[in-house]
Amino acid sequence: MASLSLDEAVRLGRELERLDYLWLEEPLPDESFGALRELTRILDIPVIGTEVLPKHPWSVAECLATRVVDGVRADPSWSGGVTGTLKTAGLAEAFHAPCELHTTIFHPLELVSLHLNGAIGNSRYFEVLWPMETFAFGLSAPLPIKDGLAKMPEAPGLGIALDRDLIENDTLEML
């Protein structure tokens, strides 16, 4: 979301509360700790952030400990891979806060996020970009999402193979 002023974020948050939204995500830059802390204090709707902060989970610890946000976002592409994402989720869990997983855009990495989502008890949603077809490349089969519900694949490993034909056809040079 584009950065708002604190007053604009309060007005937006109040409207989202009225509409019964689940959370307000990134109304201000993740680094604006003072303004985010004030927004979190004023609003009843949870304020979620931290997805673009570097050095997860260490940078997220300060945000949770000092109530900069009510919950955090993480993903394996921004948050230090699978290990960083799991550490961030565990940290959030220790503060009784959600750790919602952020889309990674690239479907093979979304498959990793799906598995992370299954392993993280404080992540309630699996986020992917829409329309799915625009971003559905890199896997030999589509992500297992039907009627808005994601399901764990049942095959071994990550459950869906990489699209080797796509990879080979798009390889310019092997070093």
The 10s digit of each residue's pLDDT in 156-168 is 999 999 999 999 9
Pure H helices in 43-78: 58-65
Sign of the C-alpha dihedral computed for residues 83, 85, 90 and 94 taken in this order:
positive
The answer to the question of residue 165 being in a domain is no
The answer to the question of residue 167 being in a domain is no
The 10s digit of each residue's pLDDT in 11-54 is 999 999 999 999 999 999 999 999 999 999 999 999 999 988 98
The answer to the question of residue 79 being in a domain is yes
CATH number at residue 99: 3.20.20.120
d(CA 150, CA 152): 7
Q: Are strands 149-150 and 99-101 parallel, antiparallel or unpaired?
A: unpaired
Query: At 25, is the secondary structure helix, strand, or coil?
Result: strand
Residue 90 dihedral angles phi and psi, to the nearest 5° = -65, -40
- Residue-level pLDDT at 82: 96
The answer to the question of residue 123 being in a domain is yes
- Residue-level pLDDT at 96: 97
Do residues 85 and 74 lie in contact, with contact meaning Cβ atoms separated by under 8 Å?
yes
Q: How confident is the model at residue 7 (pLDDT cuts 50, 70, 90)?
A: very high
The 10s digit of each residue's pLDDT in 120-136 is 999 999 999 989 889 89
d(CA 72, CA 92): 7
The 10s digit of each residue's pLDDT in 77-124 is 989 999 999 999 999 999 999 999 999 988 999 999 999 999 999 999
The answer to the question of residue 66 being in a domain is yes
- Residue-level pLDDT at 118: 95
Residue with tokens 């889309």: 103
Amino acid at 75: D
d(CA 68, CA 62): 8
- Residue-level pLDDT at 123: 95
- Residue-level pLDDT at 2: 55
- Residue-level pLDDT at 171: 87
Determine the number of helices (DSSP H) and then strands (DSSP E) in the chain: 7, 6
Structure tokens at 121: 């008890």
Q: Residue 104: which domain range?
A: 50-135
d(CA 45, CA 32): 18
| Domains identified in the chain, total number | 1
- Residue-level pLDDT at 161: 96
pTM of the model: 0.90
- Residue-level pLDDT at 108: 94
What are the residues facing 146 on neighbouring strands?
Answer: 149
